[in-house]
Structure 1
Amino acid sequence: MAVDLGPLAFIDLAYIGSPVRALLSASGDEFRKDAGRGQPGLHDDPTGNPKGSEWGNTHAVKLRLMPEITKSDIDFIADVLVETGKSEIMPRFRRLSSVDTRRKSSAFDVVTEADEAAEDAIIACLSQRFGGAAFVGEESVEKEPGLFGALGSAPLAFVIDPLDGTRNFSAGVPLFGLMIAAVSNGKVIAGVIHDPVGGVTAHAVLGNGATLVDPGGSLRALQVAGSVPLSEMEGIAGTNFLPEPLRSRVNSNLSKVGTTNWFRCAAHEYVLAASGHCHFLFYNKLMPWDHAAGWLLHQEAGGYSAHFDGEPYRANRMTGGLLCAPDHQTWLSLREALLSE
């Protein structure tokens, strides 16, 4: 079966062993030509060794084809969020009645008519362009929890938060946003965040940096803040979902840094960090729609992040906390300062 490495896909070389990885890095065209001769890893190599030789028998290739998100795709996704903000979110802002809001899992987890209408609109638009993709929306998952499985296995899935900061929105506080992340086999490959109040959009593509687009269309590359001593750091820390006694310990340890805030809106918090306006982010509850897009934005703006145990962030991992910092050394210092007894 031929392996098509056309313009809509690329190979994630992290899943390919040496020496095949070196071959693919050096000559994708050679591999594309050979791949049609048999199963990946069992084809002739470009130096002429026949199929079934030591090359084919001992160096099987595990291919994980990943879709490429183009600039045109990013522009489309951003436009979807902008238009959804205009049509579904802002007309309902400060106009909700009591029947338009309901509680989900707790008093701190609410959903409004705006959340549901916005998610329906976003999925309808994305489906027209990305018909084969999976859609993992916050409100859809409440009705169909099995959708979570697509995050770890689907070649392309879109994680959608139609209204991040719902509690702010329902209280009339203008701190909320819309977020979409593109995920391939658990790996975040693109993210877009839109603020419908300020009209600002931030986006990132894996390996291509992070950008802020103002309402007039001007672009600015995003860059995280530089490292400073702990006592001078400004951070955002959401500790309310930590179990005791860890919650009390972290709250006490936060006195070691300069100052902390929490805006009840990850969309704004990630943009602040990626823009260099705060030094770190500390989260425990890791629903993918709250973090996937923002995590990539922060990474592509030059930041470093990992779960509390040091493992890289994955969109399909929802436990273990997440700490984002300007660099690895600062991350280590923050983890020690905030989590130590």
Structure 2
Amino acid sequence: MTDSLPMPISAPITPAQRTSILNLLRRAARAEILPRFRALDPSEISEKTGRQDLVTAADKGAEAMIARGLQRMYPHALIVGEEAVAEHPEIRDRIGDAELAFTIDPVDGTWNYAHGLATFGIILSATRFGVPVFGMIYDPILDDVVMAETGGPTELVFPRRRLSRHLTVSPGGPLSELQGFVPLYLFPEDKQAQVAAVLPRFERSHTLRCSAHEFRLFAQGSVDFLFSARLTPWDHAAGALISKCAGGHVAMLDGSDYNAKLRDGVLLCASNKETWERIRDAFSFLLDPPTEG
């Protein structure tokens, strides 16, 4: 008897499965997230690693509901939820070896959510041996979703209206005409001053404190690039795939491919390879070894 071969990296999530996953996210939003929005008791908000890293009862409740639903649909899949990993860090170590894993960020943009800002979303991805093969970013407020799978387009779907449209990144251009997202506070402290010195070279740079909406805006061509630092698979795996399927050039700053198992490095998504290279060259100092104190 021969050993069974792993499923191909490009194996898709079927249309019926996509619908089931989306419905699961919508139910979790209605049950756990939306009822608490702008109604959180202070006792339902706590810090994880510091004042800027919050978790709420909505994060925990939504993740538990989504994880249960996914495990019923995919009994043998690894479920990598942000809040579960906070309690059991060893879960994350298994993602690179998992034939099928799902990452969950139940409320991406928790700081915004906890302060009453409507810029938050649910991020979900499916990976095979760390390679993203399916991504979904759901906006509970507007009840729409951006999704993509390997080899297909990036779609913006309006479930209630049964409408969808394909998304395409911007045409890019010279640095002085680019707008993008640069999370300055997430870069290594010894590099932040150098990063800040580059920012005036762009037409505009800012951050939403929410990967979900930053990736959505990039995929629909509203901005030309985005950086992701302090890599976490629940924040970046879905967005990396969605950005690529929308026509963007997606790679680590050293030129290597993104993988959800990565913990170090900087992910750069840009409109095309030429634009990506211009931005990479402007931030090439980020590839230098850390400065010793």
Asked if residue 171 in structure 1 is aligned to residue 115 in structure 2, the reply is yes
The residue aligned with 1:313 is 258
Contact 1:210-1:221 within 8 A present in 2 as well:
yes
* Deviation of the 1:338 alpha carbon: 3.1
* Deviation of the 1:150 alpha carbon: 2.2
* Deviation of the 1:205 alpha carbon: 0.4
The residue aligned with 1:79 is 23
Moved over 4 A (4+): 2-5
Contact 1:161-1:289 within 8 A present in 2 as well:
yes
* Deviation of the 1:11 alpha carbon: 3.0
Q: TM-score, structure 2 length as denominator?
A: 0.93
Contact 2:230-2:263 within 8 A present in 1 as well:
yes
Asked if residue 333 in structure 1 is aligned to residue 278 in structure 2, the reply is yes
The residue aligned with 2:178 is 233
Asked if residue 108 in structure 1 is aligned to residue 52 in structure 2, the reply is yes
RMSD: 1.6
Unaligned segments of structure 2, at least 5 residues: 287-293
Alpha carbons of 1:127 and 1:244: their partners in 2 closer, same or farther (altered >3 Å)?
A: closer
User: Of 82, 87, 102, which residue of structure 2 is paired with 1:143?
Assistant: 87
Give the 3-state SS of the residue equivalent to 2:216 in structure 1. helix
Q: TM-score, structure 1 length as denominator?
A: 0.80
Contact 1:151-1:186 within 8 A present in 2 as well:
yes
User: Alpha-carbon deviations, 1:16-50, whole Å to 9, x = none?
Assistant: xxxxxxxxxxxxxxxxxxxxxxxxxxxxxxxxxxx
Distance 1:336 1:254 in 2: 13
Q: How many residues align?
A: 285
Give the 3-state SS of the residue equivalent to 1:86 in structure 2. helix
> Higher relative contact order by CA 8 Å / sep ≥ 6: 1 or 2?
2
Contact 1:74-1:203 within 8 A present in 2 as well:
no
* Deviation of the 1:319 alpha carbon: 1.0
User: Of 32, 41, 65, which residue of structure 2 is paired with 1:88?
Assistant: 32
Give the 3-state SS of the residue equivalent to 2:105 in structure 1. strand
- Answer with 1 or 2: which has the greater Rg: 1
Q: Aligned residues: percent identity?
A: 36
Alignment of 1:1-341 (within 5 A): 1=1, 10-12=7-9, 67-214=11-158, 215-340=160-285
Amino acid at match of 1:104: K
Contact 1:127-1:133 within 8 A present in 2 as well:
yes
* Deviation of the 1:340 alpha carbon: 4.5
Contact 1:67-1:155 within 8 A present in 2 as well:
no
* Deviation of the 1:82 alpha carbon: 1.3
